Chain A
């Protein structure tokens, strides 16, 4: 019977875990990187990529050797077997050093949990230890130019040849592909059956010559994602994860973990805006003292707080043995559009100077302009706002699914979409 009162304090066991984590981090963390990491956003540390990867791998290796990696994974697979609350305590204590782990997010958040759920013992023994120790980096090969939200519509084909498979096709929006050693791939193994039934799931060696990685230049001018091309890539049958034709079910495990991972760590931009409004002076005084500004800030404050306490409620449920569900879909849905609105609002406060992007040119330029140009992508990646609303409507509220005209049609009988026009 749970009679525990509401509290934000650690239980004695949680406090002991925190003290142990804190002491170990103080003695072992790469302190020389702290100033850089403290300034950085997640996945945007201002440092040479090669140096960053080396630093990230070194920190991961150290953590793994001392038992601080893969905290929540079962002990039998090299994890620590820690609770969800302990993982959060670790993240709080690790602080800015946690940003080094971004190159391992696909491994820990998707590939690892999928292997644990669906992999063979041999696959688990081969891959999990090196994932945990940071020796190997993973990427996820799901989205395609003609299959985004409609993921089951992918066209990359894996054809059975002898004992193995030959893969041809193209993937897109693959983060970390240029750094990755391995990838998790969903490919079509049978185009003659309806789309969800003809897929299979594999692991891929990203260093194979038949794999070509090309960076994508994004709308904001940066390159965080890649396109990946497969030309007659040969896969052995032991590279398959799960049964032939069951790739969709395996992919759902990966996607549920993706939403969990994204949902718990989404920044909203609110703290930056609040601090900015406390400092920004206008002729009428500080921006924060303006009633109109306050009204907007209050709206975002309650959304940002709501997300935070929503995660803590989820964590409390998890700590009592509950399972996280589709409620987690609200995190990115709320945070994504908030970032976009907050960026526009902050720039509006800057007036005509708000257009500037170079911090050298104006004190106003910088984070909000970056946020403006990055946030449209946030509302699309890992499930668009519209898909997330569908998930809430269908899985949480129990509303009927959309009518899917292609659901029971063999994949090779579905009319292909027309050519996608780029530019004008």
Chain B
């Protein structure tokens, strides 16, 4: 029995933390926000050179082959530092789709470019308000040409390549996946403002864009479920990293700020609030480890473990980010303090893979089927 990262993986995490504390500072993040740059290119290049982007991509496809546990550790540090780079879109989503559903030729052609950071990928899924269901997707491909409109695609402005969920023909109800070159013809990007300007988002409009099938026709829904579980574990580490940082910021501020003649962190109302933040962040970290284990060996428990990690981490990050502002009082509500950046990121990540209610429902449905299967 071992539910801990190895010493090598922990050393990797420490290295990533040092790098990010120098390269993903508040000033860097704010440059991305204020210059409306889609992401920080220097940081992106460093992550690529160190082999972090390709951590979970096999060496045969240009990755560093460190495995998914290493990528979980890196994700935790990226989340902690609010790193303004398209890792989630390009690595947790696009690269995972290619590894899970791609042909040998597709993997050979795209994975090395994603691992090197030369190309940025993303996943285009939702088309309207509410949970995504097969019926809610109207995009379709006819004779290799994609028609449709995708809503608020993460890093949609910066990405070179998109995995797009669409129907194989307008009348077919089941979903298929396609690879689309976003720099090619028939693609229009419309940048959109979101609650978290540290990450760029754009609507993608496809009007006859050339689309290449990824995986078997009609197998899209299963592949999406499989990949979203994997992504959910990685995002859970980002959320846990963010939650722990928000807790630390609140703790540090409560020790520095005095009121009524004593540090505000000596008042029980705040001590208990901070203790509760610690509890939710700690439970979320432990659940994320379960997800990491399942992801690392592709365990049959992955669907339950991923949903557990996701629900727990989503709640923990929202809880810690919200209370981080509260502990900071009025200063926490200024643009100048970083509290709002964590609050924004917590709420972006809470919706990025589908909202809490969807994952709560998935978790219980999966636990119920598991119980029925055991009986």
Contacts and interface: CB of A to CB of B under 8 A. Distances in A.
Given A298-B311, A298-B364, A5 B296 contact: yes
Given A278-B371, A399-B255, A400-B266, A334 B271 contact: no
A319 interface: yes
Interface string A360-377: 000000000000000000
B275 A400 contact: no
Given A3-B6, A301-B308, A309-B290, A400 B263 contact: yes
Contacts of B312: 302-303, 305-306
Contacts of A397: 247, 251, 271, 274-275, 278
B199 interface: no
27 contacts: A1-B8, A2-B7, A8-B3, A10-B1, A85-B1, A297-B360, A298-B361, A302-B284, A302-B315, A305-B287, A305-B290, A306-B286, A307-B283, A312-B286, A313-B289, A316-B3, A319-B2, A327-B282, A334-B279, A390-B272, A392-B275, A397-B247, A397-B274, A397-B278, A399-B255, A399-B265, A400-B266
Contacts of B278: 330, 392, 396-397
The A interface, classified by DSSP as helix, strand, loop or mixed, is: helix
A6 B263 contact: no
A12 interface: no
Nearest to A317: B4
Contacts of A309: 3, 286-287, 289-290
Contact of B271 (A85, A294, A393): A393
A236 B65 CA distance: 68
A422 interface: no
A194 B9 CA distance: 49
A401 B2 CA distance: 35
A314 B365 CA distance: 30
A162 B283 CA distance: 55
Contacts of A88: 1
B187 interface: no
Contact count band on A:
35 or more
B254 interface: yes
Contacts of B276: 389
Contact count band on B:
35 or more
Contact of A8 (B7, B270, B293, B311): B293
Contacts of B255: 398-400
B271 A4 contact: no
Contact of A6 (B5, B285, B359): B5
Interface in B1-26: 1-8
Nearest to B8: A3
Contacts of A44: none
Contacts of A288: 364, 368
B357 interface: yes
Contacts of A2: 4, 6-7
Contact of B1 (A8, A299, A333, A401): A8
Given A6-B289, A302-B315, 15 more contacts: A2-B6, A6-B2, A298-B311, A298-B359, A299-B311, A303-B312, A306-B282, A310-B283, A316-B3, A316-B4, A319-B1, A388-B275, A399-B265, A399-B266, A400-B262
Which 9 A-B residue pairs are closest in the complex by CB-CB distance? A306-B283, A298-B360, A393-B271, A309-B286, A389-B275, A302-B312, A400-B266, A392-B275, A310-B286
A320 B1 CA distance: 11
A237 interface: no
B29 interface: no
Interface in B106-145: none
Nearest to B364: A294
A309 B308 CA distance: 11
